[in-house]
Amino acid sequence: EDKVVQSPLSLVVHEGDTVTLNCSYEVTNFRSLLWYKQEKKAPTFLFMLTSSGIEKKSGRLSSILDKKELFSILNITATQTGDSAVYLCAVGGGSNYKLTFGKGTLLTVNP
Amino acid sequence: ETGVTQSPTHLIKTRGQQVTLRCSSQSGHNTVSWYQQALGQGPQFIFQYYREEENGRGNFPPRFSGLQFPNYSSELNVNALELDDSALYLCASSPDRVLRETQYFGPGTRLLVL
Asked if pLDDT for residue A59 goes beyond 60, the answer is: yes
Q: Which pLDDT score, from 0 to 100, does residue B99 have?
A: 61
Residue A56 pLDDT class (50, 70, 90 cuts)? very high
List chain B pLDDT tens, one digit each, 114 residues.
579 999 999 999 999 999 999 999 988 888 999 999 999 999 999 999 988 999 889 999 999 999 999 999 999 999 999 999 999 999 999 886 556 668 899 999 999 999
B70 — contact with chain A (CB < 8 Å)? no
Select from A39, A98, A100, A101 the residue whose CB has the most chain B CBs within 10 Å, as the one to mutate to test that interface.
A98
The closest alpha carbon to B46, from B90, B112, B96, belongs to B90
pLDDT of residue A51: 84
Question: Residue A96: pLDDT above 80?
Answer: no
pLDDT, tens digit, for every residue of B58-91?
A: 999 999 999 999 999 999 999 999 999 999 999 9
Q: Which residue of A has its CA nearest to B36?
A: A101
Q: Across residues A66-91, what is the average pLDDT? A: 96
Q: What is the pLDDT of residue A1?
A: 81
How many beta-carbon contacts under 8 Å exist across A and B?
69
Strands B109-113 and B10-13: parallel
Cβ of B100 within 8 Å of Cβ of A97? The answer is yes
Task: Assign B83 to helix, strand or coil.
Answer: helix
- What part of A 35-54 touches B (C-beta under 8 Å)? 36, 41-45, 48
d(CA B79, CA B82): 9
A57 touching B (Cβ < 8 Å): no
Q: What angle do CA B35, B39, B102 make, to 5 degrees?
A: 30
Would an 8 Å CB–CB cutoff place B44 in contact with chain A? yes
Over chain A, what is the mean pLDDT? 93
pLDDT for residue B27 = 86
Nearest-by-Cβ selection for A41 from B58, B103, B107: B107
C-alpha B62: how far from its chain's center? 15
Is 90 exceeded by the pLDDT of residue A41?
Answer: no
Contact A98 B106 (CB under 8 A): no
Collapsing DSSP to helix, strand or coil, B44 comes out as strand
Q: Whose CA is closest to B3, among B109, B110, B107?
A: B107
A92 contacts chain B (CB < 8 A): yes
| End-to-end Cα distance, chain B | 37
Residue A50 phi, psi dihedral angles, 5° rounding: -125, -20
What pLDDT is attached to residue A31? 87
In Å, how far is B94's CA from the nearest CA of chain A? 10
Dist. CA A106–CA A104, nearest whole Å: 6
In the prediction, which pLDDT does B98 show?
A: 57
Rounded to a whole number of angstroms, the distance between the first and last alpha carbons of chain A is: 41
